[in-house]
Structure 1
Amino acid sequence: MSRNYKEDQTNEVEALDSIYCGDMEILATEPHYKFQIPIATEEYSSEEPEKGLACKLVFTFTATYPDGAPVVEIEEPENFEDMFETRLLEHLQKTIEENLGMEMIFSLVSSAQEWLNERWDEHKFHQEELREQKLREIEEEERKKFEGTRVTVESFLKWKLEFEESTGIAAKREKNNVSKKQTGRELFMCDNTLNDSDIKFLLEAGENIENVKIDETLFQDIGELDLDDDDDEDWVPGADDDDD
Structure 2
Amino acid sequence: MGHDEQVEELEVLESIFPEELTKISDTEFRISVSLDLPQEDSESPAEQPTILLQIRYPEDYPDKAPHFDLVSPPNAVSHPHFSLSDDREALLKTLGEVAEDNLGMAMIFTLVSSLKDEAEMIVAGRVAELEKEREEQILAAERAENAKFHGTPVNPETFMRWREGFIKEMEEKAAREEEERLAEMKKAKVKEPVRMTGRELWEKGLAGKAVDEDADDDEVVDGVQKLNVEA
Shorter-chain TM-score category? Answer: 0.5 to 0.7
Match of 1:158 in 2: 165
Aligned residue runs from structure 1 range 196-215, under 5 A: 215=214
Identity %: 25
Distance 1:67 1:154, change over 3 A: closer
Residue 36 of structure 1 deviates from its aligned partner by 2.6
Question: Hey, what's the Cα distance between the residues in 2 that align with 1:60 and 1:176?
Answer: 96
**Residue 9 of structure 2 aligns to which amino acid in structure 1?**
E
Distance 1:25 1:81, change over 3 A: closer
**Residue 96 of structure 1 aligns to which amino acid in structure 2?**
A
Question: Hey, what's the Cα distance between the residues in 1 that align with 2:217 and 2:25?
Answer: 140
Give the TM-score normalised by the residue count of structure 2: 0.61
Greater relative contact order (Cα < 8 A, sep 6+): 2
Tell me the C-alpha RMSD between the 2 structures. Answer: 4.1
Deviations 1:13-42 (Å, cap 9, x if unpaired)? Answer: 22111101212223x217x31323313135
Aligned residue runs from structure 1 range 1-244, under 5 A: 4-5=2-3, 7-26=4-23, 28-29=24-25, 32-43=27-38, 48-49=45-46, 54-76=50-72, 79-80=82-83, 84-149=87-152, 152=159, 154-155=161-162, 157-158=164-165, 161=168, 169-175=173-179, 215-216=214-215
Residue 108 of structure 1 deviates from its aligned partner by 0.7
Question: Hey, what's the Cα distance between the residues in 2 that align with 1:67 and 1:55?
Answer: 26
Aligned length: 186
Structure 1 unaligned runs (5+)? 180-186, 199-213, 222-244
Question: Hey, what's the Cα distance between the residues in 2 that align with 1:82 and 1:75?
Answer: 9
**Structure that is richer in helix per residue:** 1
Give the TM-score normalised by the residue count of structure 1: 0.59
Structure 2 unaligned runs (5+)? 73-77, 193-212, 221-231
**Residue 116 of structure 1 aligns to which amino acid in structure 2?**
A
